[in-house]
Amino acid sequence: MDTSFMREQITKGPYREEMKDKQRYILGSILILWLLFLGLYGAKNHYGLPRGLTGAYYANPRWEGTPAFTTLDPTLSLARVRERKSTFPQKNYSVRWTGWLYVRQAGPYVFKIKADDGFFLTLDGQPIAKRTPGDPPQPVSQRVTLPKGFHSLTFGYFQLLGTSALEVYWTGPERPEGDRSQGPPLPSTVLFPEKPTHRQFRMDQGLQRLLQGLWILLPAGSFLWLVWRVRQVIPPSVRRPGWVFGFTRPLSKPRKVVFSLLVAFLSSLSLTTASIAVSPTSWKDTLLAHRRFLSMTQSTDSWEPMRQAFHYLQSDHQKPLYSEIFFDKKIKFQYPPTSLLLLYFFQKSLSLSWPDTLKVFSWISWIFVLLTAFFVIKIFNLSLEETANPDVRSDPTVDLVARSLLLLGLTLTFYPVIRAYSLGQIQAWVNFLFTVLLWCWMKDKKIISGILVGGMSLIKPQYLIIFLWGLLRKQWIFLLAFATTLLAGFLVSVSLFGIADHVDYLSVLSFLSRHGEGFYPNQSVNGLLNRLFLNGNNLEWRGDSFPPFHPWVYLGTLLSSLTLMSIALLGPARAGEKGTATDLSMIALTGTMASPIAWEHHYGILLPIYAFLLPRLLEKKIFGERTLSYLYGSYLLSSNYFPMTKKLASYTPLNVVQSYLLVGGLIVFVYLQGLRQNVKD
């Protein structure tokens, strides 16, 4: 029987029209649901119940007189005080928060409060817990039985001298017996400035559940529709059982490149929403980094320690910079003195005030994120043009526009990149510089590349390993530009700040190599080992302390760093691969992963490396049909934030799951070595 004739008649007849109608119906339904979601979300922002507590801030530690200002705070924290450091005193102040706490389930609740200097907590007018300056400095835990419903809440905090701190955690009746963990922070979802009526609350809860359900189902449904639609355009003769996950043949044409990027974007979005659904924190807190980028607001994670270090250098001081700031005052200023040239330029040369400097830094960081996306697009297109396969070369029209829009979306949803901006991290600048560096190297602009990596090294000294790489690869023009930039920056810094403070920085590097960080965003081998041995803090950021020295952690960090650097510098590579963009990407990634401290935002350099890798792996599937699947899995690990892994913090060895970003980086490291070594299929 001639099945090809029958298939041709079916695809040309009523069956094809019926399939088109079904496709239009499904696509139209999805679009309508997306519009419904956006409309409901807008309505929630305008008409939904506000969350948080009313905070009254006093310029004295006794809650006396008229508040300096009153505002709605989403949680119990000192973030508002730090945001207004230019207009509100940072010592001798007090705050009183008032509002309502909603308890979903009756039973015993435990409040754990860490405060310095003092606080009090009352529920329904009854005192629950307090701390005065004469009390021991350890956290205060209080157990209280609460019925379901709303409870009036008043929380007072006062700060005298010294350091300030406030963290409020709670656990409910669902807490397992024997669990002594502090529980999650008190979330904004259970805090209300005013007590709503029963009807208002029911409507608000219903709207919240509907939005959360749509937020999970719509990306997943869109992804499934996309997979089904792609399958319809692939001839049956080239379909294989594992094509959806392997992306082998479907990506052999320009349009399939666009589809692969779209699948990556929608799948990452679906994974993000799924992780939010099971997150121990609210979805607003989980998406905090993206909210801050869209609203162009950032914290001062880098800028504040840099400000304090710069002001100390400008004062008449006896002790070296790091002996005073890092070791005595326990301020985590971990950058070299050369990084302070930025502050010298903006504050001394341009005479900007600190608030104006912060605004300039925020604008520059925001622009750098967008420029990162621009150069990621250029790297991807250039990598496509360089591939030997003509089927995946750049198309100048529709495909180019579609790719550009998708790569922009992938940049703005790549967690390390957005996290760097939201924290107020100078790493946002470094991520941008590396992206331009990789593009310049691909364009054989060695002098500009040397200048860029020299600037990166003046900020983050771990990139000095690229200088050693350049020596081994005999990249003399690159090294000349690198060394000139480095030496010029160093000499200017020494002339402004003195040689003693630069020598003193060596003690900081030694200390960090022996201690590292256990806080879960440290995605290095050091962080993994500190958490594995339960050494130091895991879930809490402590701005004035480090994990104690642990010999096994130190040894493991040292051995892993030597191994990674040996492979990147001396590992096997076929003729012609040494000194290429693949080789450069590998040593740059090594500089991040081999460091004892590699925060999540340091992995922002992975984004341009992914853009460089994908077109090459379309041509050369070094791990067979699953090559792109493994790369795709690495991308999902690297581009997302999984707060649910914090639930495993106290369970070894399961808490290695917290190092998912490190795993994503290691997979890319293996791919780069595979390309460099010319691994066969």
Strands 140-146 and 149-159: unpaired
pLDDT per residue over 446-462, tens digit each? 999 999 999 999 999 99
The yes-or-no verdict on residue 17 having pLDDT over 70 is: no
Angle between helices 398-412 and 415-423 (to 10 degrees): 50
CA dihedral 84, 87, 90, 94 (to 10 degrees): -90
Q: For the chain, where do the domains classified as CATH 3.90.182.10 start and end?
A: 53-195
- Say which DSSP state 133 is in: T
The yes-or-no verdict on residue 255 having pLDDT over 70 is: no
In this predicted structure, which of 106-110, 249-253, 274-278 has the lowest mean pLDDT?
249-253
Q: Return the pLDDT at 85.
A: 77
Q: Return the pLDDT at 87.
A: 82
- The CB density around residue 535, as the number of other CB atoms within 10 Å, is 18
pTM: predicted TM-score of the whole model, two decimal places? 0.69
CATH T-level assignment (fold) for domain 53-195:
Toxin - Anthrax Protective Antigen; domain 1 (3.90.182)
Tally of residues, the chain: 681
Q: For residue 587, which of 495, 473, 501, 504 has the smallest C-alpha distance?
A: 473
Q: Return the pLDDT at 409.
A: 86
Distance CA 438, CA 376 (A): 9
Instruction: At 621, give phi and psi (nearest 5°).
Output: -85, 85
Q: Where would I find the H helices in 48-89?
A: 79-83
Task: Assign 602 a pLDDT band (cuts: 50, 70, 90).
Answer: very high
Say if residues 191 and 53 touch (Cβ distance below 8 Å): yes
Q: Return the pLDDT at 131.
A: 86
In this predicted structure, which of 82-86, 119-123, 284-288, 341-345 has the lowest mean pLDDT?
284-288
Q: Return the pLDDT at 77.
A: 86
Angle between helices 606-619 and 581-593 (to 10 degrees): 140
Q: Return the pLDDT at 254.
A: 59
* Residues 6 or more apart whose Cβ sits within 8 Å of residue 242: 248, 625, 626
The yes-or-no verdict on residue 22 having pLDDT over 70 is: no
Say if residues 484 and 453 touch (Cβ distance below 8 Å): no
- Percentage of the chain beyond pLDDT 70 is 80
DSSP 616-679: HHHH--TTGGGHHHHHHHHHHHHH---GGGGGGTTSTTGGGGGGHHHHHHHHHHHHHHHHHHT-
Q: Dmax over Cα atoms in the chain, in whole Å?
A: 96
The yes-or-no verdict on residue 502 having pLDDT over 60 is: yes
Distance CA 538, CA 530 (A): 8
Q: Return the pLDDT at 249.
A: 43
Q: Return the pLDDT at 13.
A: 54
* Residues 6 or more apart whose Cβ sits within 8 Å of residue 676: 571, 573, 574, 577, 578, 580, 582, 583, 586
pLDDT per residue over 626-675, tens digit each? 888 888 889 989 988 887 787 777 677 778 889 999 999 999 999 999 88
The yes-or-no verdict on residue 487 having pLDDT over 80 is: yes
Q: Return the pLDDT at 233.
A: 53
Say if residues 155 and 191 touch (Cβ distance below 8 Å): no
Q: Return the pLDDT at 557.
A: 94
In this predicted structure, which of 37-51, 192-206, 233-247, 427-441 has the lowest mean pLDDT?
233-247
Q: Return the pLDDT at 118.
A: 87
C-alpha atoms less than 13 angstroms from C-alpha of 2 in its C-beta half-sphere: 5
In this predicted structure, which of 199-203, 344-348, 551-555 has the lowest mean pLDDT?
199-203
